[in-house]
């Protein structure tokens, strides 16, 4: 299987030296938090298969919902046609997302949900006669996807540098970096001093800016960097006062990951656009939504020629199979009081992880928000000196953990936990214990 895979498939993040060392592992089946390869080895999926899976692999209820929908309708054009799963799902999403978000636009993945928000925001301002608003602002260390528009509001050079000549540059705002706080504050003494920088940029550039895009509470791909909800609250206020849209990209943190259904709830805010994907179908299939307000929706309704509808569509938009599974996933949330269970498991993980990693020589910080935990490895604990990225510390630990039956993926020198919500306590123990062993093995401890 591996040889045939290597012969025919161009995988993401492949054609690198480590791919030669570690060719793709061919997975045959999954059950709960476990993945089984064709040779019968099993791996605990501590990253929810790219942050998507919520209720375990091959979840019976989700499987049944998928099969039942497949027997009714697998797909239908979504322009001028609709179907019950999409209607029911939209109604539920409007109900559970922050107040004021009233329209749901479907697309197929996280990057595209961001593209949609960017296009809508720009077009809205054009239609309102705000012709100078032609740029977006985003934060350093942010990640919003891989399509050209989404890349243009991301700040991780690794993904975007090569494409800069064909991308429109956005305005970069220094994002909060609480572990290496410029103001030497801790989580407890923080008064969001770093927000001043945002104010300055908005004051100077608001006439050019359509929207600011942010990952609420946790910058995920940038290294699971957690910042205080108050930052988000201040950003909402500033955007409103400068007539700039706020795009909340909850592609990664939506659907319970932060302990509340949506991360914006921690700050009590409603963004102008909310982007959701990944956990929307509990990890079953591609589906994304961009939610927005009635006011923005109405700006696209026009009966005279200069003003246009939003002409953006995809072949699989609002796919019925995906909508049916997403709907079932939301029913599971309701019926099993999932948020309460997530918070209990998160507390268990945090206590165990703190006990295990807080005093570790090479752990600069263990941080956690909700059910997302991250270990930042440092060369020097006192100075927080980073490892040279060429050492590929995270990658080597990932490789060692795989041999122990644990799938954790590094983000540079950060190892993180984002397991499916169905993980049991003994599996959390396994995850933490084997991560520690893999770290110690790498450092020869």
How far does Cα 84 stand from its chain's mean position?
27
Q: Is 107 marked within a binding site?
A: no
How many CB atoms are located within 10 Å of the residue 340 CB?
10
The residues near 393 (Cβ < 8 Å, ≥ 6 apart) are 377, 387, 410, 413, 442
What is the footprint of ligand PMP within residues 281-300 (CB under 6 A)?
A: none
How many CB atoms are located within 10 Å of the residue 359 CB?
10
H or E element that contains 88: helix 84-96
Neighbour order of strands in the sheet with 27-31: 27-31, 34-37, 42-45, 406-407
Give the number of C-alpha atoms closer than 13 A to the C-alpha of residue 286, restricted to the C-beta side. Answer: 11
Q: Does 215 bind ligand PMP (CB under 6 A)?
A: yes
Q: Is 249 marked within a binding site?
A: yes
Q: Is 381 marked within a binding site?
A: no
Rounded-to-integer distance, Cα 51 and Cα 220, Å: 10
Least separation in angstroms between CB 251 and ligand PMP: 4
What is the footprint of ligand PMP within residues 79-138 (CB under 6 A)?
A: 109-111, 114
Least separation in angstroms between CB 107 and ligand PMP: 10
Q: Does 220 bind ligand PMP (CB under 6 A)?
A: yes
Rounded-to-integer distance, Cα 264 and Cα 188, Å: 20
Least separation in angstroms between CB 115 and ligand PMP: 9
Least separation in angstroms between CB 257 and ligand PMP: 11
Q: Does 264 bind ligand PMP (CB under 6 A)?
A: no
Taking the least distance from each CB to ligand PMP, the nearer of 251 and 439 is 251
215 closest CA partner among 275, 279, 283, 146: 275
Taking the least distance from each CB to ligand PMP, the nearer of 252 and 439 is 252
Q: Is 409 marked within a binding site?
A: yes
Q: Is 180 marked within a binding site?
A: no
Rounded-to-integer distance, Cα 357 and Cα 408, Å: 16
Contact indicator for 252, 409 with CB cutoff of 8 Å: no
Q: Does 143 bind ligand PMP (CB under 6 A)?
A: yes
Contact indicator for 153, 110 with CB cutoff of 8 Å: no
Contact indicator for 38, 261 with CB cutoff of 8 Å: no
Taking the least distance from each CB to ligand PMP, the nearer of 159 and 179 is 159
Taking the least distance from each CB to ligand PMP, the nearer of 110 and 149 is 110
Q: Is 313 marked within a binding site?
A: yes
What is the DSSP annotation of 259-284? SSSSGGGGGT---SEEEE-GGGGTTS
Taking the least distance from each CB to ligand PMP, the nearer of 90 and 277 is 277
Q: Does 418 bind ligand PMP (CB under 6 A)?
A: no
Rounded-to-integer distance, Cα 388 and Cα 422, Å: 36
- Stretch in the footprint of ligand PMP (CB under 6 A) among 198-206, 245-253, 297-305, 430-438: 245-253
H or E element that contains 212: strand 209-214
Q: Does 277 bind ligand PMP (CB under 6 A)?
A: yes
Least separation in angstroms between CB 113 and ligand PMP: 7
One of 210, 251, 338, 411 touching ligand PMP (CB under 6 A): 251
H or E element that contains 149: helix 148-152
Q: Does 252 bind ligand PMP (CB under 6 A)?
A: yes
C-alpha to C-alpha distances, 75 to 175, 222, 314, 326, nearest whole angstrom: 41, 36, 12, 15
Taking the least distance from each CB to ligand PMP, the nearer of 409 and 433 is 409
Q: Is 315 marked within a binding site?
A: yes
Q: Does 149 bind ligand PMP (CB under 6 A)?
A: no
- Stretch in the footprint of ligand PMP (CB under 6 A) among 25-33, 90-98, 248-256, 333-341: 248-256
Taking the least distance from each CB to ligand PMP, the nearer of 262 and 357 is 262
**Feature table: binding site:** 50, 110-111, 143, 249, 278, 313-315, 409
**Feature table: binding site for pyridoxal 5'-phosphate:** 110-111, 249, 314-315
The contact set with ligand PMP (CB under 6 A) reads 109-111, 114, 143-145, 215, 220-221, 249, 251-252, 277
């Amino acid at each position: 299987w591996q040889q045939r895979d290597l012969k025919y498939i161009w995988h993401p993040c492949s054609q690198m030296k480590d791919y030669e060392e570690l060719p793709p592992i061919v997975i045959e089946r999954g059950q709960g938090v476990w993945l089984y390869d064709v040779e019968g080895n099993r791996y605990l999926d501590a990253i929810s298969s790219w942050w998507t899976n919520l209720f375990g692999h091959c979840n019976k209820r989700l499987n049944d919902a998928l099969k039942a929908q497949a027997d009714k309708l697998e797909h239908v054009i979504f322009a001028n046609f609709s179907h019950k799963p999409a209607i029911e799902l939209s109604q539920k999403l409007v109900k559970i997302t922050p107040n004021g978000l009233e329209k749901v636009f479907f697309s197929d993945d996280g990057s595209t949900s961001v593209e949609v928000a960017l296009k809508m925001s720009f077009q809205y301002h054009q239609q309102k006669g705000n012709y100078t608003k032609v740029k977006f602002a985003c934060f350093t260390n942010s990640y919003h996807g891989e399509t050209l528009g989404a890349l243009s509001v991301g700040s991780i050079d690794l993904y975007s540098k090569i494409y800069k000549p064909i991308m429109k540059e956005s305005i970069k705002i220094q994002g909060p970096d609480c572990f290496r706080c410029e103001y030497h504050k801790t989580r407890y003494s923080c008064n969001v001093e770093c927000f001043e920088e945002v104010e300055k940029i908005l004051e100077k550039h608001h006439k050019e800016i359509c929207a600011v895009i942010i990952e609420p509470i946790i910058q995920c791909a940038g290294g699971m960097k957690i910042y205080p909800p108050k930052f988000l609250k201040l950003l909402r206020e500033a955007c409103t006062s400068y007539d700039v849209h706020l795009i909340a990209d909850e592609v990664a943190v939506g659907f319970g990951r932060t302990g509340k259904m949506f991360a914006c709830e921690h700050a009590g805010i409603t963004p102008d656009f909310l982007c959701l994907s990944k956990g929307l179908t509990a990890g079953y299939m591609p589906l994304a939504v961009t939610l927005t307000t009635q006011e923005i929706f109405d700006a696209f309704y026009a009966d005279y020629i200069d003003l246009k509808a939003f002409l953006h569509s995809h072949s699989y938009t609002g796919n019925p199979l995906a909508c049916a599974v997403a709907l079932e996933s939301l029913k599971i949330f309701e019926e099993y009081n999932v948020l309460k269970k997530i918070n209990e498991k998160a507390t268990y993980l945090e206590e165990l992880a703190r006990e295990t990693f807080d005093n570790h020589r090479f752990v600069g910080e263990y941080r956690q928000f909700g059910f997302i935990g991250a270990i930042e490895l440092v060369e020097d604990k006192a100075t927080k000196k980073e490892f040279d990225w060429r050492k590929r510390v995270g990658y080597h630990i990932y490789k060692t953990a795989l041999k122990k039956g644990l799938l954790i993926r590094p983000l540079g020198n950060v190892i993180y936990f984002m397991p499916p919500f169905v993980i049991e306590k003994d599996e959390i123990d396994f995850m933490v214990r084997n991560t520690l062993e893999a770290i110690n093995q790498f450092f020869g401890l």
